[in-house]
Structure 1
């Protein structure tokens, strides 16, 4: 399998659903990705920090710090960084629009590719009826999802000992459930319809932790995935070509590649 060169340069990078502040966040793989890629524009498409989880229990280690430092360093060194909050970091929505430390906080954004396609950028939870209208069910689903991620972590610990690379058990299980597959399809069609209604050629989103790139009735639907299960990013090459990058699979990642550079933040009393 081909491994990328130490630094790969893209025109644009889209990442979402990092869920910093949770043990399920693959901040080690994400830091590796951020160190080895450069871009003109970086879109953070929601659920970057998991405010829901941090309200209940505090978790933040040195690699989480490293991810934040790498993003801020990109902003300082000339990368345009646009942060679109999602439902898990919705507390930032009250501050929009705001520019801080070189990062632009926006409700949504528009991106024009090098070959002239107009893309609507949004997290996507606005089109998830469970999150919008039944918050209790959303929180309950978040708890069940957390359990699945714990199982995923133990599953991959065994794979690592056997010499196998990272593979998402939780993502595989979700793809096997017919109800989940139908819900994903409804979500994708709703986002594509919104992009069409507003005159865009396509839409980039996150939220459902399911990386995808396909046409829906002539509209390009692009979901950049997540850094909890799939460890994926959407990238635009300099000629406008769009590609989904499965970072863990592409680089056969199976262990912690980025060592913490600070001690873990202590739990507040």
Structure 2
């Protein structure tokens, strides 16, 4: 199928929250995306592997293995691959500074854009008070999220039957529920402040599964989204323009949707 689709090459791709090992992971979609998109540098911005899910029960279908092999092949062919672990793959935090299979594992890093602007690349969970101070509650919330994903898929099975487009319960809730909106806003402000502390012009993160590009108070906040529901990646073009690419609708795969785009300048 990839031979029928035109390749799109970027300067940089940022991917987060794939959650390999969790039943909700859309690794097959991401593998399809990577067959059609390439980049000189690929950042894995945390929660690529879901260690929490794997501790509960082992789930590792062929699509998850294929995705790992695809990344390793890209690294062997010359792509620079940088892995910034998150809370679900925190076991990799014991390996900061190591290099395996062509992939560098780092705590966080600075990405320099075409125009020289510097972006702090970090997963973001260390600024989530629930994850840091009430891990039991974070795990409970993770289970509730998995249940919502399963229910959402059932709803969308009926929607497909009637020819209605995909609808995301959790994305709707994030936009409509006051506490969720406040949480996202606080998270964005905290990450922007962390970027300032590092002397950076912006921040690129994941963690909250909500893709966006936002400029506030001279700081650019960019979130990669996730590959559980939204299936989004952040891409940097050769001219410095940043774009969020959504890869959920099979009818649009020949021309991925630019949900949000912004120039680096």
Alignment RMSD (CA, Å): 1.6
1:65-84 → structure 2 map (5 Å cutoff): 65-84=65-84
Match of 1:256?
Answer: none
What is the TM-score of this pair, normalised by structure 2?
0.90
Q: How does 1:26-45 map to 2 (within 5 A)?
A: 26-45=26-45
Kindly indicate whether the alpha-carbon contact (under 8 Å) linking 1:107 and 1:122 is maintained by their aligned counterparts in 2.
Answer: yes
| Matches of 2:250 and 2:212, distance apart in 1 | 16
List per-residue Cα deviations over 1:171-204 (Å, max 9, x = no partner).
2233221100000000000000111122100000
Q: Aligned partners of 1:203 and 1:77: how far apart in 2?
A: 28
Instruction: Report the CA distance between 1:76 and its aligned residue.
Output: 0.8
The Cα shift of 1:229 comes to 1.4
Match of 1:120, SS state, is strand
Contact 2:173 2:180 in 1 (8 A): no
When residues 149 and 6 of structure 1 are mapped into structure 2, their CA distance, relative to the original with a 3 A threshold, is same
Deviation at 1:145, TM superposition (A): 0.7
- Distance (whole Å) between structure 2 residues aligned to residue 117 and residue 250 of structure 1: 35
Partner of 2:157: 157
Match in the other structure for 2:86: 86
Q: Could you report, residue by residue, the CA deviation over 1:199-246 in whole angstroms, capped at 9, with x for unpaired residues? A: 100000000001011012110000010001111010000011111111
Query: What TM-score do you get using the length of structure 1 for normalisation?
Result: 0.89
Superposition deviation, residue 170 in structure 1: 2.4
- Residue 47 of structure 1 is matched in structure 2 by 47
Residue matched to 2:23 = 23
Give me the whole-angstrom Cα distance separating, in 1, the residues matched to 2:153 and 2:54. Answer: 19
Query: Gaps (5+ residues) in structure 2?
Result: 254-265
- In the alignment, the residues of structure 2 paired with residue 124 and residue 135 of structure 1 have an alpha-carbon distance, to the nearest angstrom, of 15
SS in 2 for 1:74: helix
Q: Is 1:120 the counterpart of 2:130 in the alignment?
A: no
Question: Relative contact order: is structure 1 or structure 2 higher (C-alpha 8 Å, sep ≥ 6)?
Answer: 1
